[in-house]
Structure 1
Amino acid sequence: MIELYSWATPNGHKVHIMLEECGLPYRVHPVDIGAGDQFDPDFLAISPNNKIPAITDPDGPDGKPISLFESGAILLYLAGKTGRLLPADTAGKYEVLQWLMFQMGGVGPMLGQAHHFRIYAPEKVPYAIDRYTNEAKRLYQVMNKRLARSKYIGGPTYSIADIAIYPWLRSWKNQGIDWSDYPHLKGWFDEIGARPAVQRGVEVLAARRKPITGDKEREILFGQSQLNQHR
């Protein structure tokens, strides 16, 4: 059984959805990032960047245990383990992988900054809000154009690229997005959201997550606590 260390965030949901899609048995260990659980030494032993999600698999390569952090790496591992949601042919595989990297290097970081400056920052910085809202809109347009000519983000079949991107778009309101500007992407979003495994995945730990409203939570997530763990 896979041991999953996670929380109800977009990056966490990516792995929750993948596990549900693959039908792999897993056990959830909540890591409350607002309370500082990510700094626990046992968690840092498998996730040295103190970020969720992370997994351990007692039945890893060659039957040996393995632990992994970084959601993109976990998606690739689970795809390889199950032979699902990543094309077997070389060209198809790399078509999917480029869009997975697009999510990891663009969609996640940029939309995360949009969330931060629009919602969580203690002071409103107009330049930062405009900068990341505009970048969110640009990324949505890239995806909209892609889906005007491709059924799924990574090609003709549903894949880990779709799984990686979908959870980040669930907070479209917080990103300053108007869906009417992105009709192809909206159609894809609705289709992915209707999948039973996706619906199960986004509910994992969802009832335990609370809004980040206090200075203590903000300090744990964005302040000196992050730096202190790496000294």
Structure 2
Amino acid sequence: MTETYTPPKVWTWDNKPGVSAAALNRPVAGATHEKDLPVGQHAFQLYSLGTPNGQKASIMFEELIEAGYAADYDAWFIGIGDGDQFGSGFVDINPNSKIPALLDRSGPEPVRVFESGSILVHLAEKFGAFLPTSGKARTETFNWLMWQMGSAPFIGGGFGHFYFYAPEKIEYAINRYAMETKRLLDVADRRLAESRFLAGDDYTIADMATFGWFRGLIQGDAYGEAADFLSTQDYEHVGRWVAEIDARPGTRRGRFVNKPSGGLRERHAGTDFAALDPALLAGTAPA
């Protein structure tokens, strides 16, 4: 354990590790600079990065296209390490300065959509896909979608940060969030022992929302040695679910959108995927 820290009576923003040490971390909102966002030819303009949260939106778009819907889109890369999310154009769409953000120009007036769950619901309702329209199935889908939205901070900002990214290893914090991440995996594993997908027999936006976060932990490419540390091989039913979803062509394509390397930095047409190794899209090569 580290030495005991006594919080001051009033917190101030000065020389705090992980805060003022990195210019991107601030206790205030709003734009830091003027920067217009690029706009492509399609009705849907996605501004994102290929993180587990960002992949939710691109997977949704690619699954819609795979299912035959006219959901073509432009996906623009947002470099959060460079502060793109604090540009004035991005903040106009998402005042919270987080990816993904969507501008829907398909109607009489443009509609901004921010928060990954909101984007999934917006697109599902617009196209009538991947979200039951009524009854128990619709409620169950929202149950698991909201479960994921509330759970992600424990995995990413909690476990992932303190186990892998933090400049010092804090035993209490790692234990706290490792416990919570394993509990969440167990919640999903118990559910998937009785159900093909999270909300039932059909693939829904609840699965899209959760997939990216659990795929990396199960397949071992998230947070260094986290898969071994968390013994993720023990979650048999989550592993089965991850493998089934990862084999879907739309999901495979969506995973590679807005990746800074090893994927498509930008996506403007389905033909863009021809630039990738076919084995990646087929799932026969590690990614």
Instruction: Give your verdict on TM over 0.5.
Output: yes
Shift of 1:64: 2.6
Letter in 2 for 1:189: V
Q: CA deviation at 1:195?
A: 0.5
Per-residue CA deviation, residues 30-75 of structure 1 (Å, 9 max, x unaligned), is 1100111111011000010000000001114xx3320111000000
> Whose helix proportion is higher, 1 or 2?
1
Letter aligned with residue 20 of structure 1: E
How far, CA to CA, are the matches of 1:136 and 1:207 in structure 2? 27
Q: Residue in 1 aligned with 2:118?
A: 73
Q: Which residue of 2 aligns with 1:47?
A: 94
Quote how far apart the aligned CAs of 1:8 are. Answer: 1.2
Match of 1:26 in 2: 73
Corresponding position: 1:197 with 2:250: yes
Question: Following the alignment from structure 2 to structure 1, what is the Cα–Cα distance between the partners of residues 93 and 109?
Answer: 15
For residues 107-152 of structure 1, the C-alpha deviation after alignment (integer angstroms, 9 at most, x for no partner) is: x111111110011111110100111111110000000000011110
CA contact (8 A) 2:197 2:207 kept: yes
Q: Which secondary structure state, in structure 1, belongs to the residue aligned with residue 93 of structure 2?
A: coil
Q: Could you say which residue in structure 2 is the equivalent of 1:224?
A: none
CA–CA separation in structure 2 for the residues paired with 1:181 and 1:208:
31
Match of 2:56 among 10, 14, 18: 14
Correspondence list, 1:1-231, <5 A: 1-23=43-65, 24-60=71-107, 63-106=108-151, 108-112=152-156, 113-172=158-217, 173=220, 174=223, 175=226, 176-208=229-261
* Post-superposition offset of 1:171: 2.4
State the secondary structure of the residue aligned to 1:56: strand
The number of aligned residues is: 207
CA distance in 2, matches of 1:179, 1:142: 13
Which gives a bigger RCO, structure 1 or 2 (Cα 8 Å, sep 6+)? 1
**Normalized against structure 2, the TM-score is what?**
0.70
- TM-score, normalisation: structure 1: 0.86
Partner residue, 1:213: none
Q: Which structure has the greater CA radius of gyration?
A: 2
Alpha-carbon distance, 1:177 to partner: 2.9
In structure 2, C-alpha distance between the alignment counterparts of 1:71 and 1:15, rounded to whole Å: 7
User: Aligned partners of 1:38, 1:208: CA distance in 2, in Å?
Assistant: 19
Hey, what does 2:17 align to over in structure 1?
A: none
- Gap runs ≥5 in structure 1: 210-231
Q: Could you tell me how far 1:89 is from its partner in structure 2?
A: 2.5
Aligned sequence identity (%): 45
Opposite residue 187 of structure 1, the aligned amino acid is R
How many angstroms apart in 1 are the aligned matches of 2:103 and 2:75?
Answer: 11
CA RMSD of aligned residues (A): 1.5
1:193 CA displacement: 0.6
2:266 corresponds to: none
Give a deviation string over 1:162-204, Cα, whole Å, max 9, x none: 0000001132143433233111111001000111111100101
Q: Which residue of 2 aligns with 1:218?
A: none
Off by >2 Å, runs of 4+ in structure 1: 173-180
Unpaired segments ≥5 residues, structure 2:
1-42, 66-70, 263-287
Secondary structure of 1:45's counterpart equals helix
Q: In 2, distance between residues paired with 1:46 and 1:89?
A: 30
